[in-house]
Amino acid sequence: MTPTAEPLPDAVDEDIHLSPEEAERARKKYLLKRFWISARGYWSRRGDRLAWPCSIGLLALIGMNVGFSMASTSGTGKFSTPSNSAMHRQSIISG
C-alpha cells in the first residue's frame, strides 16, 4: 500500500457515551473519511499507474453489460427469466 500524505483519522473513542444511532453515524463518517483518504492515494499520481485504466475498463464492462441486457429485453416488456420461459412453454402445451 502506498503511504498517504494525510494520516488516517482516529476511530471514535469508545469511552464516549453515544446512542446506537449516533455511534453508527460516527462509524460511517469515520469509514467514509478513511475510504476517501485511501482513494485519493490510489487514483493520484503517486498511486498505481493502472488505477485509471482498470477503473475505466470496469465501468465500460458494466455499461456494456447493462446495454446488452436492455437490448435483449427490448420489445418484450419484461425480463426474460427461466421461470417466464417455463410458464410460456406450459401455456403453449396446455393450449
Mean pLDDT of 10-27: 77
Q: What are phi and psi for residue 86, nearest 5 degrees?
A: -65, -40
The three state secondary structure string of 5-60 is: CCCCCCCCCCCCCCCHHHHHHHHHHHHHHHHHHHHHHHHCCCCCCCHHHHHHHHHH
For the full predicted model, state whether its pTM sits above 0.95.
no
Mean pLDDT of 6-10: 64
Mean pLDDT of 42-55: 88
- pLDDT single digits (tens) 51-67: 999 999 999 999 999 98
Q: At residue 16, does pLDDT exceed 90? A: no
Cα gap 2→48, rounded to integer Å: 9
Question: With bands split at pLDDT 50, 70 and 90, how would you rate the model's confidence at 68?
Answer: confident
Q: At residue 80, does pLDDT exceed 90? A: no
Cell numbers 487514483 correspond to 43
Alpha-carbon Rg for the chain in angstroms: 24
Cα gap 24→9, rounded to integer Å: 16
Question: With bands split at pLDDT 50, 70 and 90, how would you rate the model's confidence at 91?
Answer: low
